[in-house]
Structure 1
Amino acid sequence: MRYIWYLGKLSGWDDSTRSKSFALRLPKADSLLPHQILNEVASISMISARCPNILVPKIYASSAEGPNPFVAQEYIDGEPLSTIWNRYTETEKHSVALTIAEIIVDMGETRFSAIGGFVSGTSTLGPTVEGSKIFKGRDKFHSNRCYPIGPHKTTKEYILACYDKEIYYYTHAPASDIDSDLFEHTSLEDFVQHLRDKRRELETSFVAEDEPFVLVHGDFHGRNIIMQGTRVQAVLDWEFAGAYPLGELLGGMGVDVLEVEDEESDAENTLWSREIVRRVEETARQRGWGRKELTSLLGNGDPILGYARVEMFPAEQ
């Protein structure tokens, strides 16, 4: 989460919001402004219009520009799934697992024409907004002046832009932002050359099959799912949402339903994460998904795409 949260009462921007509880979110210093706030607001607007079964908080007011950017959104009364999970009975856990699976399939059925973030009030996509773009000072370079930030018409175009991002970062970031421990066995210059060589190889010889581009939350886990009893009240934190290849929706992983603190909680989380994935497959089959899309949804994702989407450093070569 890249926001600081405050709770309060609205004095009223208009009659519809007067005297309602709200959550005020102030972005941290390394946020991708203004795109992060614009993307959050646009994501929630789009989901409200296109995905009625995915509950999201209302946005009362926001500002992405100026010295004090913020999002004021509806306060959702409830508890995070990660907090309440261990109080559920076995039957209740199965019910909630099915609900989460249905939300995931709903996201997989929300399709787009390209890879990108969302732009409020339009049907077009905008810049990608991703958590990997804030690591170690990368937020300073989130601009088309530095590398293509989207939208991207194809998966290959997006992958190449991810390499452009890392090449630009490692050639322009101040030394204080770059972890020198990463370069004990290779020089920074050699690593940058490796990235350039790999990008050139991908550009000339890599063929990426475009999966459907679908709604991906970007941070979907039990802390961002607010519950009242066994009912989902809202899914929060859409700041890193966007349209991405179907294989990235689960990315070979399940959904963390609780905080892993020890072996017991790890075993519980793994058990129910797998159950959610099983329910995702079951739900998608019931809705008529074909074998090819099921394979993309339930697989481990394209490893070349997966590597491109994260922070690149020598240990991952």
Structure 2
Amino acid sequence: MARRITKDDLAAATRAGPFCAVHFLADGKTIAKTGQNTRLAEANTMRFIRENTKIPIPEVYDAYTDDETGRVCIIMEKVEGQTLNEAWPGYNDADKETVIQQLREYFNELRSLKSSIISCTDGSPCDDQYFDDNIGGYGPYSTEEDFNQGLINAWTKGREDDALIRFLCRALRHNMQGHEFVMTHNDFAPRNILVRGSRIVAILDWELSGYFPEYWEFAKAIWRPDWDSSWMKDDLVERLKGWWSFNLGTGACAFQACYSFMYNKIIFRHHHGLNHAAERAAHIISLSSKESKSLPRKATVRAALKRSEADRNFQVMTSACTRTRRRTGAWTRCVKM
């Protein structure tokens, strides 16, 4: 059913947060999402997912561009429930496994939707935190090479002299190739999952979703989580097998883990969580090393890592990887030199 809201409706609504575009309307049954970065593509994606999968998503009642403000407004159903990050600590093992199984089914279904281009479901440009400097200016991309170049353009803008970023760009060019483009939520986090008991009743926040390379969901799921949360301590993301156990190859799998490190450095420019990200990267590397048949000499890898010697946090990753090698007796080839 079509529905428009007024200034009075928004004034009477409760905002989810000071910088959040979500408003809970006074009727207690409806949400209005409107803000500077709200796009019609999000509403189009939600409708598409509801029509083509069994994934529980709030119903979109209307989506339009307000004539007065020029901003997009999405009117949708309010689903009652508890966020998974609130519910997870109180679950027993059986509850956790029930939730994991549901998530595995939903995201396998989501990933079964594929495209020949990297874009939103309506063919509009990609949206991602990396692309915030020029929303709508990245993509759509017809090849993974073009997408990689878009990432490189975003990463290096204003950071041309950063040795770590240049190193990661080389790794991106050499390793991330030949992937399918699958439907991706792109903000998989417990705060975006609503449950009642151990039943998932809604998956929220589809503003960044679209068709991305098949590794992207996992890479983004570990980009900046609360590493001390019970969610991460239970290795839930890694237990959702199928996201990262597909045939990427050792280098690609290890490189996924580095995205967590990159996001902290490039976007947030702070040290919180970097040590955890480095340890997680080492953990993923140790898992993928079991499949590696061609391992570079340690000296070769260290020579590349030394290019970023000025960044003390990158040395944390180097140290963590070194400890992994000592434990496993193998050094995984993360990048092609």
| TM-score, length basis structure 1 | 0.64
Q: For 1:96-115, list aligned pairs within 5 A.
A: 96-115=99-118
Q: Distance in 2 between matches of 1:129 and 1:291?
A: 24
Once the two structures are superposed, the pairs formed by residues 74-223 of structure 1 within 5 Å of their partners are: 74-119=77-122, 125-134=123-132, 138=133, 141-144=134-137, 149-165=138-154, 170=158, 191=161, 206=174, 208-223=176-191
Give the AA of the match of 2:219.
G
**1:227 Cα shift?**
0.8
The CA distance in 1 between the partners of 2:264 and 2:143, in whole Å, is: 14
> Which structure has more RCO (C-alpha within 8 Å, separation ≥ 6)?
1
Q: 1:235 aligns to what?
A: 203
| Matching residue's letter, 2:144 | T
Residue 25 of structure 2 aligns to a residue whose secondary structure is strand
| CA-CA distance at 1:292 after TM superposition | 2.0
Aligned counterpart, 1:37: 39
TM-score normalised to structure 2 length: 0.61
Q: Are 2:227 and 1:269 equivalent residues in the alignment? A: no
Over the aligned positions, Cα root-mean-square deviation in angstroms equals: 4.2
Shift of 1:64: 3.6
Shift of 1:74: 0.4
SS of residue paired to 1:126: coil
- How many aligned residue pairs are there? 253
Q: Is the 8 A contact 2:45 2:121 kept in 1?
A: yes
SS of 1:117's partner is coil
CA distance in 2, matches of 1:21, 1:115: 35
Cα distance change, pair 299–111 in 1 and its aligned pair in 2 (3 A): farther
Residue 143 of structure 1 deviates from its aligned partner by 4.7
The 3-state SS of whatever aligns with 1:232 is strand
User: Aligned in 2, Cα 1:229/1:295: closer, same or farther, shift over 3 Å?
Assistant: farther
Give the gaps of 5 or more residues in structure 1: 11-19, 120-124, 171-187
How far off its partner does 1:308 sit?
9.9
The alpha-carbon deviation at position 191 of structure 1 amounts to 2.9
Secondary structure of the equivalent of 1:115? Answer: coil
Report sequence identity in percent. Answer: 17
Does the C-alpha gap of structure 1 residues 290 and 253 become closer, same or farther in structure 2, counting only changes over 3 Å?
closer
CA distance in 1 between counterparts of 2:62 and 2:150 reads 33
**Offset of residue 166 of structure 1:** 5.1
Cα 1:297/1:22, change in 2 over 3 Å: farther
Which of 93-102 and 216-225 deviates more? Answer: 93-102
Give 5+ residue unaligned stretches, structure 2.
Answer: 1-16, 270-307, 315-337
Amino acid at match of 1:266: D
Q: Is the 8 A contact 2:31 2:76 kept in 1?
A: yes
Q: Which secondary structure state, in structure 1, belongs to the residue aligned with residue 228 of structure 2?
A: helix
Question: Could you say what secondary structure the match of 1:249 adopts?
Answer: helix
Secondary structure of 1:24's counterpart equals: strand
Q: d(CA) in 1 for partners of 2:44 and 2:83?
A: 23
Whether contact under 8 Å (2:130, 2:154) holds in the other structure is no
Q: Does 1:21 align with 2:29?
A: yes
Residues 24 and 299 (structure 1), Cα distance of their counterparts in 2 relative to 1, 3 Å cut = same
